[in-house]
Chains A and B, each alone.
Chain A
Amino acid sequence: MEWLQQIINGISLGSIYALIALGYTMVYGIIKLINFAHGEVFMIGAFTGFVAIVHFELSFVPALIIAMFTCSVVGVLIERIAYKRLRESTRIAALITAIGMSLFIQYLFIYFRGAEPEAYPQDVLPERTLDIFGVKVSMQALLILFISIVLMILLQFIVQKTKIGRAMRAVSYDKDAARLMGINVDNTISATFAIGSALAGAAGVIFGIYYTKIDPLMGLIPGLKAFVAAVLGGIGIIPGAMVGGFILGIVETLVSAAGFSLFRDAAAFIILILILLFRPAGIFGKNTKEKV
């Protein structure tokens, strides 16, 4: 029963990784860029949620929506300011810019508000422990899981069934052919950043509630781990990011439950190395499918 509880905790942690990983994978899918500033969008989401809850005394759902909205604006700005002009340049130039953007946001934040951490209030979500057939489950963990799954279903719906989703897929397969359909490629890329960043914003608020402590550099480690999750699932593949996130969360939780909590963070990177060695395309990736 102990293990079952740990797995449920792992799934909720994994849902946070999954939400962040979705943004990495969507952006990669459409412009083939690893947006290293994505972890900072997550951080901005956490702080926006904090301000909404503590200073404006809003409840969880409105705070979540405000954080998601703010992050989508930030994501679009990052793309328009830093990445757009690099679309035709080399991958390495774009990658270095993304890392630069990440550091820029971190230190801009520290410059204006200082580096000291902030503590989320404890009572945003009901903190109770449920007893389901002898398994003790934290209500928070369940709510977090529930919210993440709602957001993921919403995302799947947008991507698969709506016009903007169809445009996003078309642009990610073939930009010029998409243009010939009358699709505005720039706007579609912006929409992708907006949606991916909104999910990271949601993850930021959820993270704050779950772990209570937030700070300007908090995006780094969860960002890297979500990146690992995206690679694990197959970068560019949306269901891959979800599955990768859940697997990573479960593995981490089990590793620390087994008494190796010092190796918790290492687990993610060991997974990354293994996946790059043995299945670089990820779980869902088809092995080297080249465009003709």
Chain B
Amino acid sequence: MLKVNDIDVYYGHIHALKGVSLNVEEGEIVTLIGANGAGKTTLLNTLSGLLRPKNGTIEYMGKSIVGLPAQQIVRDGIIHVPEGRRVFAEMTVEENLLLGAFLRKDSQQVKKDLEKVYEIFPRLEERKKQQSGTLSGGEQQMLAIGRALMSKPKLLLLDEPSMGLAPILVQTIFEIIQEINNDGTTVLLVEQNAHMALSIADRGYVIETGKVVISGTSKELQESELVREAYLGGA
């Protein structure tokens, strides 16, 4: 579904991604693990068209998406839940969700999908008229994911959905990610919480200072020396 081949991304002179390659097959959950500053967010921003790689190719469903404007990439079904949720704080919960459906013309189906999102996240329905900025961190994460679902993702990019959440909530969010995947959405999940991420992912990549250092099935990664020491607390 997605083939990233040898991309380099720069911020001015900072070489943030150095020849990164990765692929995601339809129906999978693939996780990207790495420490602070490894380049995870940079990779997702490149996939969603906010950044442009200097070299390398990105193919999505058989065609190149390098250089496409972000709105075209959204239209093609790559939906990015950014780091730190980035909900529109001064707009209501429902307005945020409707923004997720910005490009859609099928207003009947949008209504149904809104109901579906409220079913998945009953909290959001209770708070639909509330300003999003006043939601708790966990609720904002639900909103960010709900908003992405409103865009009808084929490939969902999630940037650290567990960040700043209590363990019980992390559990809930990860269960929901799994459900979304079961419903047919492919997921690329960026996480620092390697333990949780590998528990739901089919495969994973580990990225360090802009390079993929190891990849494999979740099982292989859970058993690898490097991953255990650096990312699973050495257990």
Residue positions of A touching B, CB distance < 8 A: 163, 166-167, 169-170, 173-174, 176-184, 292
CB closest residue in chain B, given A184 = B71
- Alpha-carbon distance A170/B102, docked complex (angstroms): 11
Stretch at the interface among B9-17, B89-97, B179-187: B89-97
A166-B95, A176-B82, A177-B82 known; A183+B102 contact, CB < 8 A: yes
Number of A-B contacts (CB under 8 A): 61
Chain B residues within 8 Å of A176, by CB: 50, 82, 86
Which residue of the partner chain, among B75, B82, B102, B151, contacts A167 with CB atoms under 8 Å?
Answer: B102
Determine which residue in A167, A179, A183 has the highest number of CB atoms from chain B within 10 A of its CB, and name it.
Answer: A179
- Alpha-carbon distance A177/B144, docked complex (angstroms): 10
- Alpha-carbon distance A176/B82, docked complex (angstroms): 9
Which residue of the partner chain, among B74, B82, B86, B91, contacts A182 with CB atoms under 8 Å?
Answer: B74
- Looking at chain B's contact residues, is the secondary structure mostly helix, strand, loop, or mixed? loop
Contact pattern, B 135-149, Cβ under 8 Å of A = 1, otherwise 0:
000000000000100
Contact between A169 and B151, CB atoms less than 8 A apart: no
CB closest residue in chain A, given B99 = A181
Contact between A179 and B82, CB atoms less than 8 A apart: no
Contact between B89 and A173, CB atoms less than 8 A apart: yes
A166-B99, A177-B82 known; A182+B151 contact, CB < 8 A: yes
- Looking at chain A's contact residues, is the secondary structure mostly helix, strand, loop, or mixed? helix
Contact between A180 and B82, CB atoms less than 8 A apart: yes
Which residue of the partner chain, among B74, B84, B89, contacts A181 with CB atoms under 8 Å?
Answer: B74
B10 CB → nearest A CB, Å: 16
A170-B91, A173-B89 known; A179+B71 contact, CB < 8 A: yes
| Further 7 A-B residue pairs, CB within 8 A, beyond A179-B70, A182-B70, A292-B84 | A169-B90, A173-B89, A173-B90, A179-B48, A180-B50, A181-B74, A182-B75
Contact between A177 and B88, CB atoms less than 8 A apart: yes
Chain B residues within 8 Å of A166, by CB: 91, 95, 98-99, 102
Chain A residues within 8 Å of B84, by CB: 292
Q: List 13 A-B contacts (CB under 8 A).
A: A167-B99, A169-B88, A169-B91, A170-B91, A173-B91, A176-B86, A177-B82, A177-B86, A179-B49, A179-B71, A180-B82, A181-B102, A182-B75
